Amino acid sequence: MTTGTLMKVRLTYYTGAVFRLYPQIPPWIDAYRRKCSHRAVRTNRTTLAALTVLLTATAATFAANPLMGTWKLNEGKSKFAPGATKNTTVTYTPAKGDMIKCTVDGVDKDGKPIHWTWVGKFDGKPYQIKGSPSFDTLTYKPVKDRTNKTTARKAGKVVMTGTITVAKDGKSRVVTLTGTDANGQKFTNTTYYDKQQ
């Protein structure tokens, strides 16, 4: 073999450093390397563009939902059945993926604090609730631009239904709920909320 066909490595010691000297890379290898590099760049750009579109679409979906944000109970305008639980603060925030998290704080009939959370989609399907003794799943189903229908279930049985309607200016909402309490008594609550953020 000639030295032109062998890759030589020469170690030169200079001020403690080691240098490896290689012959010029063959043109076909260099061309293949450039091709792979360009392909990787195109792939990364395509992936980044797709991710940007997805994130933009998700953000637009949340922004278009008038329920997003924090709502505080306007107790003076609201009407409760005797012994009803009062949800004083309700917050809707983005969750993982295109899910929405609903966080509720309030007081029960004895004035004791309550807290429960729900994570799901507004698609009419039941999603689990954590922390509520009254029901274990809740569904939200849009029926108009600013109105959602909600259904609460306990052990698979419907215990409460209602509608949530946001005002045109987005600053308030009214919630009308009907159902059966733990004692088997039917109830109707009409509550008003003011948006905080």
Q: Quote the domain boundaries for residue 44.
A: 20-64
Q: Is residue 149 part of a domain?
A: yes
pLDDT of residue 33: 64
Number of domains in the chain: 2
Q: Are residues 191 and 148 in the same domain?
A: yes
What average pLDDT does the chain have? 81
pLDDT of residue 154: 95
pLDDT in tens, 101-143: 999 999 999 999 999 999 999 999 999 999 999 999 999 999 9
Q: Are residues 45 and 85 in the same domain?
A: no
pLDDT of residue 48: 54
Q: Are residues 84 and 100 in the same domain?
A: yes
Is the model's pTM score more than 0.75?
Answer: no
Examine the fold and report which residue of 35, 64, 93 is the final residue of a domain before the chain moves on: 64
Q: Is residue 13 part of a domain?
A: no
Residue 19 has pLDDT above 50, yes or no: no
Q: What mean pLDDT comes out for the span 161-187?
A: 94
Q: Are residues 59 and 73 in the same domain?
A: no
pLDDT in tens, 69-105: 999 999 999 999 998 999 999 999 999 989 999 999 9
Q: Is residue 7 part of a domain?
A: no
Instruction: Specify whether the CB–CB gap between 172 and 194 falls below 8 A.
Output: yes
Q: Is residue 164 part of a domain?
A: yes
Q: Give the whole-angstrom CA distance, residue 58 versus residue 98.
A: 6
Residue 178 has pLDDT above 70, yes or no: yes
Q: Are residues 83 and 150 in the same domain?
A: yes
Terminus-to-terminus CA distance in the chain, angstroms?
Answer: 79
Q: Give the whole-angstrom CA distance, residue 86 versus residue 83.
A: 9
Q: Is residue 117 part of a domain?
A: yes
Residue 12 has pLDDT above 60, yes or no: no
Q: Are residues 161 and 79 in the same domain?
A: yes
pLDDT of residue 64: 72
Examine the fold and report which residue of 64, 98, 117 is the final residue of a domain before the chain moves on: 64
Residue 28 has pLDDT above 70, yes or no: no
Q: What percent of the chain has pLDDT over 90?
A: 60
Q: CATH no. for residue 104?
A: 2.40.128.20
Note the helical H segments in the chain.
27-64
Q: Which residues lie closer than 8 Å to 142 by C-beta, 6 or more apart?
A: 122, 148, 149
Task: Of 36-40, 143-147, 183-187, give the lowest mean pLDDT range.
Answer: 36-40
Q: Are residues 94 and 190 in the same domain?
A: yes
Q: What mean pLDDT comes out for the span 25-49?
A: 60
